[in-house]
């Protein structure tokens, strides 16, 4: 039987509110009574919403890992890349349609087409 490792975070917990709260742990739950100050408690990770709910009840956690904001894609940079790829594609297309165009021009057109497709896909993905 294979076991899945469950991540925990070790925190300090203080309850300055007027009611007892329960915090989830790997073994079940931890009861935190009003006025309690606990140190080095391994608990299951909390979402921001859960932290806010506990905070509204007077419970504070110390030592919680910070939730790093997700890197937002740079839409303007992706738009510029797509615009540049489109210009390169149009240039390669014009060169491939000239009288006497050879394999090099056809290859350049295919490369430009691939680059344009990839740039447009990246921009589309970033906008979703």
Q: For each successive 10 residues of the chain (128 residues), what is the average pLDDT?
A: 80 95 93 96 93 95 75 83 94 90 90 92 84
The CB density around residue 13, as the number of other CB atoms within 10 Å, is 21
Structure tokens at 23: 């915090």
pLDDT of residue 32: 96
13 within 8 A of 32, measured Cβ to Cβ: yes
- The length of the chain in residues reads 128
pLDDT of residue 5: 77
Structure tokens at 25: 């742990």
């Amino acid at each position: 039987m294979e076991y899945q490792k469950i991540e925990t975070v070790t925190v300090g917990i203080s309850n300055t509110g007027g009611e007892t709260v329960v915090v989830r742990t790997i073994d079940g739950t931890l009861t935190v009574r009003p006025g309690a100050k606990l140190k080095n408690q391994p608990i299951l990770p909390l979402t921001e919403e859960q932290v806010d709910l506990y905070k509204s009840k007077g419970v504070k956690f110390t030592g919680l890992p910070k939730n790093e904001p997700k890197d937002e894609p740079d839409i303007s940079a992706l738009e510029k890349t797509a615009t540049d790829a489109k210009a390169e594609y149009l240039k390669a297309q014009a060169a491939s349609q000239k009288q006497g165009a050879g394999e090099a021009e056809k290859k350049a057109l295919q490369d430009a087409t691939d680059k344009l497709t990839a740039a447009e896909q990246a921009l589309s993905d970033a906008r979703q």
